Every structure is written in C-alpha cells, then in structure tokens.
Amino acid sequence: MSESGADWVEQLMRSFRDRLVGGLYEGIYQLEGEPLRQVMDAQAESCMHAFVALTQIPPELDLPQFLERMKTSGPSQVAIEPVSEDEFLWKELHHGECVCPHVRQEIIRLDPKLCICGETWVRLLVERHAHRAAKVELVESVATGAENCIYRISLGDALAPAHEGTTT
C-alpha cells in the first residue's frame, strides 16, 4: 500500500475509534451514582498512569517536589494555595477550556459528570506522592461554567506501602 493509502486507512481507523469513544461516553453520561463513579474512577486511573509515563514524573518525588513539578508538567498551569497544614487548593488554570484530551479533540462533549474523573485523577496523583489518603472536593470547574478547575484537597492518614512489583 502506498504511503498516502496507509495514511487514509489510519485516518479512517482513528475516526472510527473516536466515534466509538464518543458514543460510549454518551452512554456513560446516562449513568448515575456508583456505576458512574466506577467508570470515571477507572478512566482516571488509566489517564493518571499514562500522564505520569508521558511526563516522566518519578514516583519517588515527595509531595512538595511533585507539586512544584506540576507547575510545569501538567496539561495546564497548576497553582497550589495552602489552606492549612493538611489542606490546600489545587487550581488548574484552564482559561475556560477543559483539559481532557477527549474533550479538546472533540471526541466527547464536555459534561459536568466528567469532573468525577478529574477529582479522581487529582486524588491519585496526590496520594502517589503524599503517601497519604486524600479527599478531593471539586470547588468549581469549566464544565459548570467557571474559567478554571479548582479542587480542595484534604490529606488524611498514611497509606499502606504499595506492593512490590506494582507500577505507578
């Protein structure tokens, strides 16, 4: 097959995959409660692992080192505002645009339910580097009409050490 033929087939397959993912999310957006949470949590975990691999964020960074790294490694500028010793605001400065790659590429539509994925993504990243349980609460988001996505993060008890052989 010629180079242009291969490009055409690749584009056709990408278009098919994008339509399939878009259709799946329309179904996901019909879910409520725990089933919705389970799907969004699974998506967030996959996205988090892909993100740390893509940005090469080593798991041995402690929380302050990780937060400093996020100022330049994330899909948007991140600002951290301390609230107390165990609580801070994580502000993703999006300028009114969602950073989800599926939304940016117009594969899926932006829906406030997608913010569950964002909450879990932030929680998993914070727990990965704080080695403490984290409670993440969405304060505001682009999906609900805000300029930026802001999460309130409260750190809790220490997490059990990860099992050897697992990848994070």
Task: Encode pLDDT of 72-97 as tens digits.
Answer: 876 678 999 999 999 999 999 989 99
CA separation for the pair 130, 167 (Å, rounded): 16
Q: Flag whether pLDDT at 163 surpasses 60.
A: no
Domain locations in the chain as residue ranges: 3-158
Name which of 63, 71, 88 is nearest 152 in CA terms: 88
Average pLDDT over residues 94-115: 94
Q: What angle do CA 100, 106, 111 make, to 5 degrees?
A: 60
Indicate the SS3 state at residue 163: coil
Q: How far is CA 37 from the centre of its chain?
A: 14
Percent of the chain predicted with pLDDT > 70: 92
- Tens of pLDDT, residue by residue over 39-73, are 999 999 999 999 999 999 999 999 999 999 998 87
Q: Flag whether pLDDT at 164 surpasses 50.
A: no
Residue 166's pLDDT band (cuts 50, 70, 90): very low
pTM recorded for the entire structure: 0.87
What backbone torsions phi and psi does residue 56 show, to the nearest 5 degrees? Answer: 55, 50
Which fold, 3-158? Answer: Muramoyl-pentapeptide Carboxypeptidase; domain 2 (3.30.1380)
pLDDT at 76: 76
Question: CA-CA distances (angstroms) from residue 88 to 40, 80, 83, 85, 139?
Answer: 23, 7, 5, 8, 12
| Dihedral sign (CA 39, 78, 102, 104) | positive
CA separation for the pair 93, 76 (Å, rounded): 6
